[in-house]
Structure 1
Amino acid sequence: MAETPCVAGSALPLGLALTTALLLAPPAHSLPDEQVWRIHGTDGLVARVALAPGPGSLTLAVERHGRTVLEPSPLGLLTERADLSRGLRPVSRSSRTVVERYRTTTGKSRDRRTRLAETRWGFRTADGTRLDLTVRVAPDGVAYRYTLPDTGATGTVTGESSAFVLPAGSDSWLGRYRADNENLFTAYPAAAAPTGEYMMQSLFRTPGGHALIAESGLTGAYAGARLTHTAGSPVYGVRLWDARIAVDGGRLDTPWRAVITGDPARITRSTLIDDLAPASRVRDTSWVRPGPALWTWLAGGRPAGQSLPMQKAYADYAAARGWPYTVVDAGWYFDPRQWDVTDPEWERNSWIPELVRYGAARGVGVHVWIHYRDLDTAQERERWLPVLHRWGVKGVKIDFMDSESQDRLRWYDEILPATAEHRLLVNFHGSTIPKGMQRTWPHVMTLEGVNGEEKRVNTAEHLTILPFTRNVIGSMDFTPGSFHRP
């Protein structure tokens, strides 16, 4: 699924599925005096970057049709050797329009087109330490990220001064932060929300329209983030999972901080998080076939996970309804005498190959559940994944990552190419949320990262806000169907 650059303005060959065009601006030039810059998108959306001349600090504001979406909000990085939130002076600026066409395997639409107005600044501190800022404006939102051209000079990242300042009178829909992103959303006046930490996918209603805060392009080069808030304040700060982000001495591009904005319909249609993410790294996606999967944990539990007859009955059930997949949940490789202990002979004892044959005869593919701990080293992945591929398993449901630390994100960076190599579809549970992952790795069908029907507690308020928060970001394994639960 390569995305091929083409010359701006050139005619696209008929039937070309995937192209990327970059409309380049003139070379960057020095800016000795200018302190305020505006980047104009379509439909009246404007991002305003300002540099305060005294402290040398940066802010970003967003408005649509002259009405405020985001008040001037702090920007900047903190590192072990430099405070890059103040004392900045501009040394360069360049602009371009990024026009892209790409195709996805999952999501709201398969064929995507996007047009982003981009400006990039170079700033330096008095001692010469460099920080670059890139801002993109799309029809449905604004995003920014930082670049450290030389982390050898800055050392580790110790935090961000990034924050989002909401206009007075804004409303919010927030979920308390937890490592697996599985909390309820609740409505509050934005400033009056209780003191605490909130999930990044937070929605606000402002004078300029609704605004969903999110991030994109998250990898093991950085760490996941959540929002922090103090009751009575309009400010929502950014806190990283790790107190120190390890760097390799070279260049560092942080994830994108994004504000998807517009009316609720525009927000639900938005593909901005995918649009910002790196292009697909899977060239051949002919084997990636999305479809409904029968999931039986709540119906069968532990006994089902260790019963071939029950799993065959589930395959029959899926086949009768035309569902292409069934998921074998926890227990299938556990020692029958002791739950949650891996059978050392699982490769020889497993009935999964027989189930795969049984399902294939009925047009039903098999996915299998695996605990993260059994895939957290290269040696384990080299043992498990080739065996599953050889058996004919179609995908893996990997569970209990429960972290957005840099170390755990590096694990994602390793498991994603490994599963693609063995042509295994992926469903992550107890996980982060997509954040652009599904564009870069199109064999990722869905992720949990939601308080879904597996939970014993849900509210109407929570259920009705999910389409405008979590599900905007990317595929959401809500695990529907547990209507029998009290």
Structure 2
Amino acid sequence: MKYKIKSIILLLLSATQIVKAQTGYEIKSPDKELSVSVFLKDKQIFYTINRKNVPVLANSALGIIREDADFAKNLSMLSVSKNELVKDNYTLKNGKRLNNQYLANKRVLHLQNASSKKMDIIFQVSNDGIAFRYYFPDADTQLKKITEEKTAFHFFESTKAWMQPMSVAKTGWESTNPSYEEHYQKEISVGTPAPTEAGWVYPALFNYKDTWLLVTEVGLDGSYCATRLKQNSPEGNYQIGFPDAREAFTNQNVNPESILPWYTPWRVIAVGSLKKITESTLGTDLAAPAKADINPHLFQLGKASWSWIMLKDNSIIYDIQKKYIDFAADMKWEYCLIDVDWDTKIGYEKMQQLTDYAKSKNVGLLLWYNSAGDWNTVKYTPKNKLTTHENRLKEFALLQKMGIKGIKVDFFGGDGQSMIRYYLELFEDAAKFGLNVNCHGATLPRGWQRTYPNLVTMESIKGMEFITFDQNNANEEPLHVTTIPFTRNIFDPMDFTPMNLSKIPNIKRKTTHAFELALPVIFQSGVQHLAESPDGMATVPGYVKSFLQTFPSSWEDTKLIDGYPGKFIVMARKAGSKWYIAGINGEAGTKTVTFDMAEYKGKKASLITDGDEPLSFTRVEMTPNADLKINMKAFGGFVIVIE
């Protein structure tokens, strides 16, 4: 017996010595193409990424600093779990793919700091990327506060980047920043400082040799702030940064705080070819599943008419909104959005009449709200109706009784933890009353549309409204909108409010009609608020109107056919038995694209593209059977429907 006990002790000591002696731990993707190495160096922890045995991310730091404990230095490895295969299957109507499968290898590193406090790092490596998060396993009811996250992404010197600057808190119109509404800087050298100390937003796209990498975060559940990348990245080393101290909900906290145990959000790096990361669903694979108490069948995706985008504030009157309800009905669109100051210019009583009228036309109404609070000085109303749970329940009950289908909430105040909690409480309360939610002047959704099925879309982009404000934005549109399918819209729904086919008051549009027609296919949004007006729609050919009456609100599959950020994109999306292929050219010269149509052999296809005359359409019926060559005009585009 003594001999057996002694043998067990020796085995345990031997295992402990192996853990202490081993400096690196590897996690590979199921297909073995990607691998992550995690290692301790001078009692600090780092990771690297290889693709096809070639390094694509250099030594990058890990670690967390809490007020009560430092988990960035003087670390020791207690143990490392064995590889575990993680599987998940889920459906998501509000995304690039209806049926989604996630498969990854998982390993957990169990660490402790110099004071014997514990922290785990959980790595999951799938065929399309790497994800990791921190976990504090101890139980403690005393509030813990994180002051800094040391997580970094260290890119090699020759890497190029497509990144959107973060705007500084309390700047911009009526102090409404940050709202994720800047143009992406395109193909810049890594290490280029952000224009301001606010840093860079997610997603951030990088290209190193033949590998593309996209950095974002997923899994914000209210126990953490939203983060960004810091302004300075010496030698291409980007560190996670926390929000400005002013990005809070009514003077509450900004930086992360929680009792223990405590999971942080996932840090996500999609890795592969441009096609692989564009088709990836990592941004929702790692999000929390749909809330069990939210019935997804209560919330309908769709298209919406919207007067404000072209006609602005003066259009929010009864007669014009009735005209736009008729417009939605004629177009077979599900919704009409009624924007700012409806409560004073139309009023609740007359809004009830509009709601009843819209219902008779099979159109649902969506109503605008000011997020309110002390974080902006916007005067638009309704205001101060959503900032407390009690007020929300009262207002949402009234909207439900009226028959309103959803709300658009505007002008949020940043990324602090308290503001993130406000978003989530808003989604949950709205869901109880069958209201879908659209947020403008807002943060990046970060996979929330999976967790909250009533979250149909969020703006978080310099969208069509900016094109209507300023000619410079109109001039930038072709480059901008050929960048964001690879960045902002890659995982999350985006309310760009696209598609003007006629004219924009006081603006000379840079893009062609077919370019604009392609945008609702290329952009993914649970509700597409379309920018065209009834008068503008009356000028387009019947086949264009028919296309816009029948194009889908959700997709079963998505494929990138070809493209390059800021230059062009050709994307295919499937709905039912039909495929929709759309392309846009962001450059000033004609671009020829050729793609294989063999899989559609024997089917009927209809091509809508730019006509010979300026700002005109042409249609061609075809039977695909081989390679198809399409010449896109400068700043032009096309749409193909295959059935």
Give the residue type in structure 2 aligned to 1:391.
Answer: M
Instruction: State the partner residue of 2:480.
Output: 462
CA distance in 2 between counterparts of 1:232 and 1:239 reads 14
Contact 2:143 2:258 (8 Å CA) reproduced: no
Secondary structure of residue in 2 paired with 1:401: coil
Give the corresponding residue for 2:338. Answer: 328
3-state SS of 1:472 partner: coil
Task: Classify 1:121/1:466 alpha carbon distance in 2 versus 1 (closer, same or farther; 3 Å).
Answer: same
What is residue 323 of structure 2 aligned with on the other side? 313
Q: Which of 269, 282, 303 is matched with 2:279 structurally?
A: 269
Report if the CA contact (8 A) 1:147-1:251 is conserved: yes
For the 8 Å contact 2:66–2:148, the answer to whether it is kept is yes
d(CA) in 2 for partners of 1:308, 1:99 = 52
Residue type of the alignment partner of 1:331: D
Residues 335 and 356 of structure 1, relative CA distance in 2, 3 Å threshold: closer
Verify the 8 A CA contact 2:225 2:256 in the aligned structure 1: no
How far apart in 2 are the matches of 1:406 and 1:134? 22
Shift of 1:154: 8.5
Gapped regions of structure 2 (runs ≥ 5): 1-14, 168-177, 246-253, 373-384, 508-643
Q: Tell me the residue number matched to 2:144.
A: 155
> What is aligned with 1:294?
305
State yes or no: 1:250 paired with 2:260. yes
Q: Distance in 2 between matches of 1:154 and 1:408?
A: 18
Secondary structure of 2:131 counterpart? strand
CA shift at 1:423, angstroms? 0.8
SS in 2 for 1:233: helix
Report the counterpart of residue 214 of structure 2 in structure 1. Answer: 212
The residue type equivalent to 1:37 in the other structure is: Y
Distance 1:416 1:353 in 2: 23
Deviations 1:306-339 (A, max 9, x none): x111111001011111111110011111378xxx
The residue type paired with residue 464 of structure 1 is T
Decide whether the 8 Å contact of 1:182 with 1:451 is kept in 2.
yes
Equivalent residue pairs, number: 444
**Aligned counterparts of 1:34 and 1:426: Cα–Cα separation in 2:** 50
Which of 80, 104, 107 is 1:93 aligned to? Answer: 80
Q: Is the 8 A contact 1:399 1:429 kept in 2?
A: yes
Residue among 478, 481, 484 paired with 2:499: 481
Q: Which amino acid aligns with 1:228?
A: K
**Which residue matches 2:604?**
none
Are 1:171 and 2:160 counterparts?
yes
Q: Partner residue of 2:58?
A: 71
Aligned to 2:103: 115
CA distance in 2, matches of 1:471, 1:208: 22
**Which amino acid counterpart does residue 364 of structure 2 have in structure 1?**
G
Which digits, 9 at most, give the CA deviation of each residue in 1:41-90, with x for residues without a partner?
025111111111x2x11111111101222111100001112111111111
Determine if contact 2:144/2:260 at 8 Å carries over to the other structure. no
Between 1:37-46 and 1:147-156, the stretch displaced more is: 147-156
Instruction: Specify which of 33, 41, 48 is matched with residue 21 of structure 2.
Output: 33
Higher mean alpha-carbon deviation, 184-193 vs 100-109, is at 184-193
Structure 2 CA distance for aligned equivalents of residues 134 and 153 of structure 1: 24
Q: 2:125 aligns with which of 137, 161, 186?
A: 137
- Between the aligned residues of both structures, percent identity stands at 28
In 2, Cα distance between equivalents of 1:153 and 1:66: 45
8 Å contact 2:310–2:504 — kept in the other structure?
A: no
AA aligned to 2:498 is P
In the superposition, the TM-score normalised over structure 2's length comes to 0.66
Q: Kindly report which structure 2 residues correspond to 1:395-406, keeping only aligned pairs within 5 A, or say none.
A: 395-406=406-417
CA contact (8 A) 2:202 2:488 kept: no
Indicate if the aligned counterparts of 2:214 and 2:271 stay in contact, CA closer than 8 A.
Answer: yes
How far the C-alpha of 1:413 sits from its partner, in A, is 2.2
Q: CA deviation at 1:192?
A: 4.6
Contact 2:338–2:366 (CA under 8 A) maintained in structure 1:
yes
SS at match of 1:311: helix
Question: Shift in Å at residue 182 of structure 1?
Answer: 0.8
The CA distance in 2 between the partners of 1:248 and 1:474, in whole Å, is 27
1:119 counterpart letter in structure 2 = R
Distance 1:190 1:68 in 2: 18
Local SS of the residue matching 1:375: coil
Amino acid at match of 1:280: A
Aligned-pair distance for 1:261? Answer: 1.5
Alpha-carbon distance between aligned partners in 2 of 1:410 and 1:36, rounded to the nearest angstrom: 37
The answer to whether the 8 Å contact 1:186/1:461 transfers is no
| 1:418 alignment partner, one of 429, 432, 444 | 429
Q: Alpha-carbon deviation of 1:296?
A: 1.8
Q: Tell me by how many angstroms 1:372 deviates.
A: 0.8
Inter-CA distance 231–111: structure 2 relative to 1 (3 Å threshold): closer
- Contact kept, 8 Å, 2:159 with 2:206, in 1: the verdict is yes
How far, CA to CA, are the matches of 1:424 and 1:371 in structure 2? Answer: 16
**Which of 395, 403, 420 lines up with 1:409 in the alignment?**
420
Query: Quick one: which of 112, 115, 128 aligns to 1:127?
Result: 115
What is the one-letter code of the residue matched to 2:136?
A: L
* 2:462 partner letter: N
> Which residues of structure 1 form unaligned runs of 5+?
1-28, 337-345
Structure-1 separation of matches of 2:203 and 2:228: 9
Q: Does 1:429 align with 2:429?
A: no
1:472 corresponds in structure 2 to 490
Q: CA-to-partner distance for each residue in 1:396-439, whole Å, 9 max, x for gaps?
A: 11111131111101112211111111111111111111111011
Q: Give the 3 Å change call, closer, same or farther, for CA 351–43 of structure 1 in structure 2.
A: farther
**1:14 paired residue number:** none
SS at match of 1:454: helix
Shift of 1:247: 2.9
Q: What's the RMSD between the two structures over aligned residues? A: 1.9
Which aligned pairs between 1:224-239 and structure 2 lie closer than 5 A? 224-230=226-232, 233-239=235-241
Residues 286-320 of structure 1: CA distance to partner in whole angstroms, max 9, x if unpaired? 22210111122122322222x11111100101111
- Give the Cα–Cα distance (whole angstroms) in 2 for the partners of residues 144 and 473 of structure 1: 17
Q: Which residue of 2 aligns with 1:184?
A: 183
Given that residues 67 and 207 in structure 1 are in contact (C-alpha distance below 8 angstroms), is that contact kept between their aligned partners in structure 2? no
Partner SS state of residue 112, structure 1: strand
Q: Is the 8 A contact 1:166 1:190 kept in 2?
A: no
Q: CA deviation at 1:461?
A: 2.4
Equivalent residue of 2:464, what SS? coil
Give the counterpart letter for 1:81 in structure 2.
D
For 1:87 and 1:232, locate their aligned partners in 2 and report how far apart those are by CA, in whole Å.
24
Q: Distance in 1 between matches of 2:113 and 2:210?
A: 34
Given candidates 40, 56, 71, the residue that maps to 1:51 is 40
Alignment partner, residue 80 of structure 1: 67
Q: Secondary structure at the match of 2:297?
A: coil
